[in-house]
Amino acid sequence: MLGVSHRDDNQSLRAIVGNTTAMTAARNGNTNPWPDGTILGKLVWKDSRHPLWQPALVPGELSHIEFMVKDSKKYANTGGWGFARWVGMELKPLNNDGGKPCFECQKAAAETDFVFTRPAPLP
């Protein structure tokens, strides 16, 4: 697990996870650029309130699961990242036009190799 986040514009909770290449890179601070072979995943749930503890927002319905895969040659046109998204519990693949719309948005994080998530502080 690399991090967690909460979006208060679209009321959703996220977990950001990585494969071993990603976790090793994060532990070593070797994330700009992330090495080839990195896979980052994000799981997104709609907010719900915990029935026994109202101030806690917890995962409700699964919204989507998405991935970024680093291969600086194969995905040279989109910052070295391949993009994929599956929607809902039925994991319906999103046709994302080779990742172009994803990349457009992830460009806002160009200074950190197109990745928003900064590994959560850990001892």
The site for a copy of itself (CB under 8 A) is made up of 1, 3-10, 13-15, 17, 43, 45, 47, 50, 52-53, 55-62, 65, 89-91, 108-109, 111-112, 116-118, 120-123
114: phi then psi, degrees, rounded to nearest 5? 65, 15
Which token pair is 27?
Answer: 């532990």
Among 7, 27, 49, 107, binds ligand HEC (CB under 6 A): 7
CB of 118 to ligand HEC, least distance (A): 8
Segment interacting with ligand HEC, rule: CB under 6 A, options 19-27, 29-37, 69-77, 93-101: 93-101
Q: State the chain's maximal CA–CA distance in angstroms.
A: 50
Query: Cα-Cα-Cα-Cα dihedral of 74, 75, 81, 82, to 10°?
Result: -80
Residue 106 identity (one-letter amino acid): Q
DSSP SS3 for 21: helix
Which token pair is 18?
Answer: 């990585």
DSSP 14: E
Q: Which does 102 bind (CB under 5 to 8 A by kind): ligand HEC, a copy of itself, none?
A: ligand HEC
Q: Which does 66 bind (CB under 5 to 8 A by kind): ligand HEC, a copy of itself, none?
A: ligand HEC
Residue 112 identity (one-letter amino acid): T
- Where along the sequence are the contacts to ligand HEC (CB under 6 A)? 5, 7, 14, 16, 40, 42, 53, 56, 66-68, 83-85, 94, 96, 101-102, 105-106, 109, 115-117
